[in-house]
Amino acid sequence: MNNLKYYINLINEARSHPDLNIKSPAIATLEKYKNQSGLYVHFNDIEKIGVNLQSKNTFGPYGVYAFPLDYAIQNYERIIASGIKTRKYMTILKAKSGINILDLGKIKRATLENIKNLVNTFSRKIKAQELTGNNRRDFHNIQITISSIARRIGRSFQSLSNSIFRKLGYDAIYDNNRMLNDNPNQIVFLKSNTFDILETVPFRK
C-alpha cells in the first residue's frame, strides 16, 4: 500500500473514530506540524526527554534519537512496524538555530581525519586504520576503534562516542545513509540543550 495513502487513511479513521483509534493523538499531531523545517519526532516510554545514559542502544552515541518529521509522516507504516508501536509517548522536537550538525551523508575526508586523530588520542596501543577514501567504510572502521578503546579504558561505546563528537564541536549527528545503525533516516542530539520540545502526546492512548 502506498505510504501516503496509508497515512491519509489513518488520519480519516482517527477523525471518524477517535475513541477507537489509539494512535489518533499522535497522527493529529504529525498532521499539525508537517512541512515545517527543522522538526523531528522522538518516541519514548516516559514523558521526560533527555540523553538516556541507560539506553540499550549499542550502535551509536548516547543521545536523543529522532526521525525527521516529514520522513515520519511519509514512512509511518514502516516506522510503526519497526517496533515503535510499543512506545508510550511521541514528542515533537525542533532543532535550535545555529547548532552544529554532522551530516554523515555529506561528510568530508578532512572531517573523518579529524575524528580519527581525536580517537587515536584515547589510547597508545589501539589506533584507527588509515582512511581508504570510502566514507562508509572509514566511518565504520572508526566506530570499531572507538568500541575497542572503550572496552580497554572501561567505558561504554555509547559514552565514549558521545564524548568524542561533542569534543569535536558537534551538537547532533544526522544520518540518512545507515552509517550509525540500520535506521535509514534519523538524527541524534548529543546534548539535551540543542533542541526545543514543542509538544508531547500519548502514543498508545
In a domain, 186, yes or no: no
Q: What is the pTM of this model?
A: 0.85
Q: Is residue 205 predicted with pLDDT exceeding 50? A: no
Q: Which 8-state DSSP code applies to residue 15?
A: H
| Structural domain includes residue 178 | no
Asked whether residue 179 is domain-assigned, the answer is: no
For the chain, what is the domain count? 2
> 56: pLDDT confidence band, cut at 50, 70 and 90?
low
Question: What average pLDDT does this structure show over 65-77?
Answer: 92
Domain shared by 94 and 139, yes or no = no
In a domain, 182, yes or no: no
List the domain range (segments joined by +) for residue 157.
103-167
- Residues with Cβ within 8 Å of 65's Cβ and at least 6 positions away in sequence, in order, are 42, 57, 183, 186, 187, 188
Residue 137 in grid coordinates: 567504510
Question: In terms of domains, do 13 and 76 share one?
Answer: yes
Residues 80 and 113 in one domain: no
Among 13-17, 140-144, 192-196, whose mean pLDDT is lowest? 13-17
Residue labelled with grid coordinates 511519509: 74
Whether 119 and 131 share a structural domain = yes
Do 8 and 94 fall into the same domain?
Answer: yes
d(CA 34, CA 39): 9
133 in the same domain as 152: yes
Same domain, yes or no: 43 and 83: yes
Task: Write out pLDDT tens, residues 152-179.
Answer: 999 999 999 999 999 999 999 999 999 9
Q: Are 19 and 39 part of one and the same domain?
A: yes
Judge contact between 63 and 188, C-beta under 8 A: yes
Strands (E), the chain: 39-44, 64-68, 89-95, 101-103, 172-175, 186-189, 195-202
On whether residue 174 sits in a domain, the answer given is no
- Assess whether 81 and 10 both reside in one domain: yes
Which H or E element spans position 142?
A: helix 135-153
Q: Over the stretch 82-139, which tens digit does the pLDDT of each residue have?
A: 778 788 899 999 999 999 999 999 999 999 999 999 999 999 999 999 999 999 999 9
47 within some domain: yes
Whether residue 17 is found in the same domain as residue 90: yes
d(C-alpha 3, C-alpha 92), whole Å: 21
Q: Which amino acid is at 50?
A: G
Per-residue confidence band for 21, with pLDDT thresholds at 50, 70 and 90: very low
Q: Are residues 8 and 95 in the same domain?
A: yes
Q: Are 76 and 103 in contact (CB under 8 A)?
A: no
